[in-house]
Structure 1
Amino acid sequence: MRHVLSTWDRKAFLAVAERHWPGADRALPRLSRCADHGLLWFGLAAGAAAAGGRPARRAALRGVASLAVASATVNTLGKRSVRRVRPVMDAVPLVRRLARQPVTTSFPSGHSASAIAFVTGVALENRRWGLALAPIAASVCFSRIYTGVHYPGDVLAGAALGAGAAFAVRGLAPTRAQ
């Protein structure tokens, strides 16, 4: 089963690497860099907290807390326990590649975990805002494959860990609706 999943993962990666989407070559690497170290999500949280009143602050805080749990889990347990090598970049055009390549292992994707954790945390507090941010999170996840730094399986595992982190935070600190 592991061989089948690994084969699918590599084929899906190559399909993305070999496909050209006009406009994505510039936008997705920039988006991926903006999400480095959670900066994109912290910026969105600060903006929402400053402009949106108490409900926005609660949603932003829940999103940031979820991101923190996801990031800690991925970087302490995930990357150290599964030492998957990053994809070979031969099939990825130079224009898409990140200027600074990640040095950590590939599995799971920390960017995907952070993106999905933040958006899920926000959505658990405020469904509309979560839905509004979901396309940005999905784009960050896809950007990690498009720029050649992750296999699709890395991204899916990171996303699952991120969603789990948001629900764990909700278990520890119930939402207003609960």
Structure 2
Amino acid sequence: MYHLDVTLTRAINGLAGGSAAFDALMIWTSRIGVPLLVLAVALRWWRGADRRHSRHVLVAAGLTFLLGLFLNQIIVHLVHRVRPYDAGVSRLLIERSADVSFPSDHATATVAIAAAFLLHGTRRMGLAFGLAALLVCFSRIYVGTHYAGDVLGGALTAVLAALLVARLYTEGTRLDRIVTGIL
């Protein structure tokens, strides 16, 4: 499995350096992708015809995002994977990270948003966020900071978090009505 992970990582990261414009796009996506997605979610708070349902989905996305990153913090204490650039697998295009490689927080954060939208019946937005998440995930491998398996692990953490939130945070409950009625 490690061999496949290294092969995929090298294949994607090996594209780096072929085009200065594409390198710049991937660096920008890697740096700003998560904040842009969070902003896109936050701005939806005041939009939509079915405001209660829309806000429920937004709260679920936020909870999924937070739960996914919390789960990652547990995982990093159990798995101490060296970054691919430190193992000689990838060439780094951005600054070095101070933490371990597995799982990718960027993948968790972006996939969490997409998964929450999809699981709560907002298919069109979920697919749009899913495409953005794929781009961010790809960029993290492209810039050399993650193995492909790190990104997959982060995505799986996000899906688990989304499933838990969908099960535990039910639309129409008293708590949901209070939270979605704010502003």
TM-score with structure 1 length normalisation? 0.84
Q: Give the superposition deviation at 1:175.
A: 4.8
Specify the alignment match of 1:158 in structure 2: 154
Q: Answer with 1 or 2: which has the greater Rg.
A: 2
For the 8 Å contact 1:124–1:175, the answer to whether it is kept is: no
Change (3 A) 1:91 1:164: closer
Structure 1 Cα separation of the partners of residues 67 and 75 of structure 2: 12
Structure 2 Cα separation of the partners of residues 25 and 52 of structure 1: 36
Q: 1:112 aligns with which of 104, 107, 110?
A: 107
SS at match of 1:85: coil
Aligned length: 166
Structure 2 Cα separation of the partners of residues 84 and 64 of structure 1: 27
For the 8 Å contact 2:68–2:157, the answer to whether it is kept is: yes
Q: 1:42 aligns with which of 25, 38, 41?
A: 38
SS at match of 2:69: helix
1:139 aligns with 2:130: no
Q: Give the superposition deviation at 1:91.
A: 6.8
Q: 1:172 aligns with which of 165, 168, 171?
A: 168
SS at match of 1:122: helix
Q: 1:62 aligns with which of 39, 60, 63?
A: 60
Larger displacement relative to structure 2 (81-90 or 149-158)? 81-90
Specify the alignment match of 2:25 in structure 1: 27
1:78 aligns with 2:68: no
Structure 1 Cα separation of the partners of residues 111 and 89 of structure 2: 27
Identity %: 30
For the 8 Å contact 1:45–1:61, the answer to whether it is kept is: no
Larger displacement relative to structure 2 (17-26 or 136-145)? 17-26
Amino acid at match of 1:34: I
Q: Give the superposition deviation at 1:50.
A: 2.6
For the 8 Å contact 1:59–1:123, the answer to whether it is kept is: no
Decide which structure has greater helix share: 1
TM-score with structure 2 length normalisation? 0.82
For the 8 Å contact 1:113–1:159, the answer to whether it is kept is: yes
For the 8 Å contact 2:9–2:89, the answer to whether it is kept is: no
Q: Which runs of 5+ in 2 are unaligned?
A: 173-183
Structure 2 Cα separation of the partners of residues 93 and 9 of structure 1: 15
Q: Give the superposition deviation at 1:93.
A: 5.7
